Amino acid sequence: MSRPIRALPIMRRSLVLAAALTLTACSPAPVTQGAKPAAAQAGFPVTVENCGRKLTFDKPPAKVVTGYHPSLETLLALGLGDRIAGRTNFAESPFLPGQKEQYDKIPEIAPTIMLPQKEVMLAQGADFVLDNAMAGFDAAGGYATVEELDAAGSPPYILGGWCSPEEVLRFTIDDTFTDLRNLGKIFGVSDRAEKLAGELRGQLAEVKKRVAGRTPVKVLATDGGKGPVNAYGGSGITDQMITLAGGVNVLAAVKGDYTEVSAEQVSASQPEAVLVSDYATLRGEDMPSSPAKAEEAFAIAKNSPAAKDKRYLALPVAAQHPGYRNILAITDIARFLHPGAFTQ
């Protein structure tokens, strides 16, 4: 089972289709006949690579559309809220501190976390589109394709390079820093991007220092299910967050990121702690709560240390997608796994 936008379990299947899209080079926006070329801006043009495409910008984007929330969060963290002209809905979990107020000021162009349908999307007149997966560019789902957006002068950028199921599995935390560096170049704010990256690297170094020498905690990361169980294998972002936080993924031998495993595998894994993907809604419908999903895991691994201690952490699913929040979440997971390392 492959993984697209994890807050939409149904959409995971659509990513397999969407990943078949062939990404082409970004074409420039059409120039009006007789119009004079705009004067070059200092530091531009800039070119970055994303998903096998070279994207060239003659000036910083000024009318941006963002898809699933981690893309918006990342731009807000870079101080670029004034460049965002449209965003999708986010109602699945709490906002990061100080971001809800900015979110409320940005026009909502879709009632779910997905980008709007093709006609609405093209009508936005965006000069840049930022999202976390290919599902929102699937023609079969009624969405504008990457090629169509390129032709309209609205080039998409996919955080983390999540452009195919294989690339999702190859993701590393370093890809988040690559995104920050690229976005800094695209928007002409490389100094801000480097500052943010430095702060995040400092947080990772602090976590590493605090958990060093401590016995790794055996962790099951799950999205619920009584069998098969929706869980996270030994590839991709969630597995890396567990490792960096001082844990060891009990499903590390499973080649997959978001995938399905049998109840027998979960029962035999004997986790000492459980991470539960936390999101309240899916396409406007209420979803099982994190406590309910944790109880499902405890019932399957009923003789495990985690079940005996009822030890779990509700992890916002947005943190399990590319974006700067996934690095922030490593500290939260480390505090959960090794509370004694953070007493001083």
Of 12 and 62, which is predicted with more confidence? 62
Of 249 and 29, which is predicted with more confidence? 249
What pLDDT, on a 0 to 100 scale, did the predictor assign at position 40?
A: 62
Cα separation, 221 vs 271, whole angstroms: 9
The mean of the pLDDT values for the chain is 89
What pLDDT, on a 0 to 100 scale, did the predictor assign at position 88?
A: 97
Give the per-residue SS3 of 184-227. Answer: HHHCCCHHHHHHHHHHHHHHHHHHHHHHCCCCCEEEEEECCCCC
Give the mean pLDDT of 91-112.
96
Give the mean pLDDT of 269-273.
97
Percent of the chain with pLDDT over 90: 84
pLDDT in tens, 142-177: 999 999 999 999 999 999 999 999 999 999 999 999
What pLDDT, on a 0 to 100 scale, did the predictor assign at position 232?
A: 98
What pLDDT, on a 0 to 100 scale, did the predictor assign at position 285?
A: 76
- Confidence category of residue 39, pLDDT binned at 50, 70, 90: low
What pLDDT, on a 0 to 100 scale, did the predictor assign at position 286?
A: 84
Percent of the chain with pLDDT over 70: 88
Of 39 and 288, which is predicted with more confidence? 288
Cα separation, 242 vs 337, whole angstroms: 9
Of 43 and 198, which is predicted with more confidence? 198
Cα separation, 42 vs 95, whole angstroms: 35
Cα separation, 93 vs 216, whole angstroms: 28
pLDDT in tens, 296-317: 999 999 999 999 999 999 999 9
What pLDDT, on a 0 to 100 scale, did the predictor assign at position 120?
A: 98
